[in-house]
């Protein structure tokens, strides 16, 4: 993360993260594949070695999808009282689809926010 940000216009980290774009120029691809981070930006050459979202995206996805699916399943059980197979037919595919979509979006958002805020690994100065 060099200090040459003045050469590029400011990029909205949320939009760039959802679209999977470079956090510096907003044009190049952030991902190489579905959720694998690319080595560098194909447009501006930013090295993505700083990008380490860790387990953050998975934790956010679990909390968000759990809230949505469990809330809807409880509402459906109380109001409609469907058989158990209807719950399986609805909630398992919905959970899988939403998890796959949100995982990429949240990983992109966390990486772009990491770049914007210059977040780095903690170091002890001695």
Q: Report the mean per-residue pLDDT for the chain.
A: 92
pLDDT in the model for residue 123 = 75
Phi, psi of 5 (to 5 degrees): -70, -20
Q: Which positions ≥6 away from 82 have C-beta within 8 Å?
A: 76
- Maximum separation of any 2 CA atoms in the chain, in Å: 64
pLDDT in the model for residue 4 = 54
Taking the C-alpha atoms of residue 89 and residue 75, their distance in angstroms, rounded to an integer, is 16
**pLDDT tens track for 5-47:** 557 889 999 999 999 999 999 999 999 999 999 999 999 999 9
The position carrying tokens 């387990």 is 55
Domains in the chain: boundaries: 5-116
pLDDT in the model for residue 106 = 97
pLDDT in the model for residue 121 = 77
Task: Find out whether 11 and 25 touch, Cβ atoms under 8 Å.
Answer: yes
pLDDT at 2 over 60: no
pLDDT at 124 over 90: no
What is the share, in percent, of the chain residues with pLDDT greater than 90?
80
pLDDT in the model for residue 18 = 96
**pLDDT tens track for 97-110:** 999 999 999 999 99
What DSSP line would sit under the chain, residue for residue? --S-GGGS----HHHHHHHTB-TTTS-SBSBSSSSPBPSB-TTT--BGGG---TTHHHHHHHHHHHHHHHHHHHHHHHHT---HHHHHHHHHHHHHHHHHHHHHHHHHHHHHHHHHTT--------
Q: Retrieve residue 124's tokens.
A: 């002890």
């Amino acid at each position: 993360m060099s200090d040459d940000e003045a050469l590029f216009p400011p990029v909205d980290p949320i939009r760039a993260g959802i679209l999977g774009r470079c956090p510096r120029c907003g044009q190049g691809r952030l991902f190489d594949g579905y959720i694998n981070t690319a080595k560098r930006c194909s447009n501006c050459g930013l090295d993505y070695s700083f990008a380490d979202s860790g387990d953050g995206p998975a934790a956010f996805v679990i909390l968000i999808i759990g809230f949505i699916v469990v809330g809807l399943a409880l509402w459906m059980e109380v109001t409609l009282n469907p058989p158990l197979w209807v719950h399986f037919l609805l909630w398992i595919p919905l959970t899988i689809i939403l998890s796959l979509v949100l995982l990429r979006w949240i990983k992109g958002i966390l990486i772009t926010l990491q770049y914007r805020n210059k977040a780095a690994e903690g170091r002890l100065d001695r």
